[in-house]
Structure 1
Amino acid sequence: MKQLSQAPHRLYFFLGLVALLSLLAWWWINLQFANQLPVPLHGILMPLGVFPLFILGFTFTAGPRWLNVKASTHHFILHGATYFVGIVLVLFASTFGLKPLRLSGFALMLSAWVAVTLRWARLIIESKSEDKKHAIALLVAMLGGILSMLCALLWAAGSELAWQAARQLSFFAFLLPIFLTVCHRMLPFFTANVLQNYVTWRPYSLLATWLIGSWTLAFAGIFGTNGSDASSAAQGIQVIVATLLSFSFANTSWRWGLFRSFENRLLAMLHLSFAWLSVVFALHAISALGVTTGSATTHALALGFMSTMLVAFVSRVSFGHSGRPLHAGNGLWSLYLALHLAAVLRVFASFQATDSLIKVSAGLWAAVFIAWGALMLPIYLRPRVDGAPG
C-alpha cells in the first residue's frame, strides 16, 4: 500500500476506482431490489462521487507541468481520504436512513474540495509561466465544484430547491468545464505526438466559447423549470446555446482528426469519447424545445462522454506514469467499446422509459468497470515497471 503515497495520481486514481465501484454496486442493488429508487440522491451523488477523485489525480499530475512548478505532495493523502470518506458516509447513511450522517458526508466532500481548490490556486499564484489560461479555467471550474457541493449540502439539510441547482452546477459549471479544458489542451497534444503531419488547432477563443456556453446552460437549467416567463426565456436560451455547441463540437471533432485517430487505439479512445459531445448537445436542444427525452441528455453526457473519456484518459495516464507502453490491447479496447454500448442502451432506455433496458445498461456498465478496475488497480499498488520513481 505504500506505493499509493509515491505520487498523487496513484492515490487519487485508486480511491476513485474504489468509490466508482462502490457507487455502481449501490445503484445496481437499488435497481434490483428497492421498492422506491433514491433517484434524487443518485442524480447528485453519481456525478460528485464518480469523477472528482480522478480529476484530482490528473490535475495534480499534469497541472504542475502546465504551470512549470514543483508541487508539494503535502496533504494529498488527507484530501483524497477525506473526500473518499465523505462518499462512503453518504452511501452508508442512505442505506440505513441516517440523514445526519448523510449531511456529514456531503460536508466532508465539500471541505476536501475547498482545500484542493485552494491548493490549486496557490500553484497558479506561485507559477511564473506566461500561459496560465488552462490552469485558470480549471480553477474556475473547481470553484463551480464548490458551488455544486454547497448546494448538495443544502439539499441534504432539507432544502428541496437546492437539488436542481446542485445537479445543474455539478454537470455544467463543474465537471463539463473541467473535461473541456483538459480536452482542449491534451487531445491536440496527444494527437500531434502520434500522427504524422498533424496540424495542431486549439484556439483559446474556442475554449472560452465552450466554457461560457456551459455556464450559461447551468444557470438556464436552474431557472428553466418553473413554467414562468423567465422559464420560457431560459428554455429558449438553452435551445440556442446547445445547438451552437453541438455544431461546434462536431466541427472540432472533425478538425482534431477523429477518423485519423484510428491509427492508434489509445488515441482513438479519446477522440471517440469527444465525439459524443455533438450528440449530447443535440439532445439538449431537442429537449429544451419540448420534445420528451427523459434523462437522455444527462446519460449521454455522463455515460457517453464523461465515463468513456474517464476510461480513455485514466488508462493513458496510468500506462504512461507506470512505465508501460501507450498501447490499448484487445481487452481494454473491448471494454471501452462495451462502455459505449452501455451508454447507447441507457440513452434509448430514457426515450422508451424501459425498466428492463435500464437494468441491462446498468449491469453492463458495472461489469465493464469491474473488469477495468481489475486491470487498473494493480498498477497503483506496484512500482513502475521501468524502475523510475513516481
Structure 2
Amino acid sequence: MAKIAPKAFGGPVLFSYGFRPFFLGAIVFASLVIPFWVGVFQGTFELGGFFSPIDWHIHEMLFGYTAAVVSGFLFTAIPNWTGRMPIKGWPLALLAALWVLGRLAMLGISGLSPPAVALIDCAFLAAIGAMILREIIAGQNWRNLKVVVPILLFLAANLLFHFEVLTQGGADYSRRLGLAVVIFLITLIGGRIIPSFTRNWLVKSNPGALPIPFNRFDAVCLLAGAITLVVWVILPDAPATGALLYVAAALHLFRLTRWKGHRTPASLLLLMLHIAYAFIPLGFLVLGLGHTVAALHLLGIGAVGGMTTAVMIRATLGHTGRSLESGKALGAGFILIILAGIMRSAASDAYLLGLSGLVVSATLWTVGFGLLFIWLGPCLWSPKAGRKTPNQPA
C-alpha cells in the first residue's frame, strides 16, 4: 500500500508524533516515581487511595510507565505498517492527558471512589487499543493485527488488578499477567527489530555473519515463552512451571545468540537492545530457581526498563533527525538503569557507603532517567533537526 504524503502540522511539536508526548511522559514519570516510591516505602511520604504501596508501585511501573512507552512505540510504528498518517494534534493530546489523569487518579489525591479510579486508569489502554485497531483495519495491514491481542490482554490485566485490589485487598494474578504480557511483547516486537536493526548495521559497518531471519525456531521460542508465561501466571509455584522456565530460558538465550549481538560492540545503540533482551532468559532462569523477587526485578528493570530505554533512545534520535549514535551521556543513562536492575536483584539488602541496596538501586535508576531527560527531552519537544553530534542536546 502506498504511503500517504505527510501534511504540515501547525500545532505544538510535542503533539506532532505519537512517540513525543508518551516518551517524554514516561521519562519524566520514571524519574519521579521511584524516588517517591522509596519515600513511601520508608515512611517519608504517604500514599493516598486504596492501593497498598507495593501494589501501587507494581501497577504504576507496568500500567503507567510501560504503557506510555509501548503506546509511543506503537503510534510511531503503525504508520510505517499501514501507510496511513500518524495520529497527531488534539487526538494525541487527549490521549496523553488521559494517561496523566490515570497517574493522578492512582495517587489517590482526587478522592475518587475505587470504581472511578479504575475507569479513568483503564480508559487509557482501552483508547489505545481502539485507535490501534482502527488504524490497522483502515490500512488493511492484517498481519499486524496480532499486535492488538497483547494490548487487549494488557488492558484485561489492568482491569483484573483493580478488581483484585478492590475485592481481595491486594493484587495476585494480575501482577503476573501484566508483567507476562509485557515480556511477551518484548519477545514479539524485539524479535522483529533487534535482528533487523543489527543486520542493517552489520551490512554497512561490519561485513560477515548476519542475524538469522525469523524462521520456525523463532516461532517455537515465542510459543514456548507464551505457554511458560501463562502457566507461571496461573501456577507460579508448580514444579512443572520451573521446568518450563528452564526450557524457555534456554530457547530465548539461543535465539539471542542467533542475532549476532557479539558483533555490535562498536554500536552501543544496538548493543543496548541485545543486553536488554538477555535479561529475559536470565530472568526466566532465576525465576525457575525460585528466587522470585530477584527474578521479577531482573525482568522488570533489566528486560522491561532496559528495552524501553533502548527503544526510546533509538526512536527519538532517529525520528527527530539526530545521528543514530547514543553518545556517552545516553550510554551512561542506559548502563545506570541496567545496574539498577542488577543491584535491586542481587543486593537489595546489602549496604554500600551506608546506603541500602534499595536506595542505591533507586538512585542509579533516577540518575539514569535524569540523563535521558536532559539529552532526549529537548529532542522530544523541539522541531525535527538536522543530524547532530550524539552528545549535543537538540
TM-score normalised by structure 1 residue count: 0.85
The aligned counterpart of 2:22 is 12
Among 78, 93, 98, the residue aligned to 1:82: 98
The aligned counterpart of 2:36 is 26
Q: Distance in 1 between matches of 2:307 and 2:160?
A: 26
Deviating above 4 A after TM superposition, structure 1's stretches of 4 or more consecutive aligned residues are 34-37, 350-355
The aligned counterpart of 2:162 is 153
Q: Give the CA deviation at 1:99.
A: 6.7
Q: Distance in 2 between matches of 1:378 and 1:142?
A: 29
The aligned counterpart of 1:165 is 173
Q: Distance in 2 between matches of 1:345 and 1:236?
A: 28
Query: What fraction of aligned residue pairs are identical, expressed as a percent?
Result: 21
Change beyond 3 A, Cα 1:35–1:217: farther
Q: C-alpha deviations, 1:300-346, integer Å up to 9, x for none?
A: 00111111111111001000011000011112212222222211111
The aligned counterpart of 2:49 is none
Q: Distance in 2 between matches of 1:182 and 1:335?
A: 23
Question: What stretches of structure 2 of length at least 5 have no aligned partner?
Answer: 1-10, 47-51, 388-394
Three-state SS of the structure 2 residue aligned to 1:75 is helix
The answer on whether the counterparts of 1:266 and 1:316 sit within 8 Å (CA) in structure 2 is yes
Q: C-alpha deviations, 1:228-266, integer Å up to 9, x for none?
A: xxx6xxx23322221111111211221101210112111
The aligned counterpart of 1:113 is 125
* 1:177-216 map, 5 Å: 177-196=184-203, 197=207, 198-203=209-214, 205-216=216-227
Q: Distance in 2 between matches of 1:175 and 1:258?
A: 22
The aligned counterpart of 1:140 is 149
Q: Distance in 2 between matches of 1:375 and 1:88?
A: 26
The aligned counterpart of 1:280 is 283
Q: Give the CA deviation at 1:367.
A: 1.7
Q: Distance in 2 between matches of 1:213 and 1:159?
A: 31
Q: Distance in 1 between matches of 2:60 and 2:224?
A: 24
The answer on whether the counterparts of 1:345 and 1:361 sit within 8 Å (CA) in structure 2 is yes
Change beyond 3 A, Cα 1:221–1:278: closer
Q: Give the CA deviation at 1:299.
A: 0.1
Q: Distance in 2 between matches of 1:121 and 1:64?
A: 12
Q: Distance in 2 between matches of 1:182 and 1:351?
A: 34
Change beyond 3 A, Cα 1:351–1:139: farther
The aligned counterpart of 2:318 is 320
Q: Distance in 2 between matches of 1:42 and 1:285?
A: 24
Q: Distance in 2 between matches of 1:206 and 1:153?
A: 37
Change beyond 3 A, Cα 1:72–1:213: same
The answer on whether the counterparts of 2:18 and 2:86 sit within 8 Å (CA) in structure 1 is no
Q: Distance in 2 between matches of 1:56 and 1:369?
A: 19
Q: Distance in 1 between matches of 2:359 and 2:54?
A: 14
Change beyond 3 A, Cα 1:374–1:189: same
Q: Give the CA deviation at 1:45.
A: 2.3
The aligned counterpart of 1:269 is 272
Among 131, 134, 142, the residue aligned to 1:122: 134
Q: Give the CA deviation at 1:64.
A: 2.2
Among 341, 346, 349, the residue aligned to 1:348: 346
Q: Distance in 1 between matches of 2:146 and 2:213?
A: 15
Among 285, 300, 303, the residue aligned to 1:302: 300
Q: Give the CA deviation at 1:195.
A: 0.7
State the AA in 2 paired with 1:108. Answer: I
Q: Give the CA deviation at 1:352.
A: 6.9
Instruction: Work out the number of aligned pairs and report it.
Output: 365
Three-state SS of the structure 1 residue aligned to 2:260 is coil
Q: Distance in 1 between matches of 2:33 and 2:72?
A: 19
Q: Distance in 2 between matches of 1:76 and 1:275?
A: 33
Q: C-alpha deviations, 1:171-201, integer Å up to 9, x for none?
A: 11x2112222221111111111211345342
The aligned counterpart of 1:379 is 379
The answer on whether the counterparts of 2:24 and 2:377 sit within 8 Å (CA) in structure 1 is yes
Q: Distance in 2 between matches of 1:108 and 1:35?
A: 24
State the AA in 2 paired with 1:113. Answer: L
Three-state SS of the structure 2 residue aligned to 1:385 is coil
TM-score normalised by structure 2 residue count: 0.84
Three-state SS of the structure 2 residue aligned to 1:51 is helix
Q: Distance in 2 between matches of 1:149 and 1:202?
A: 34
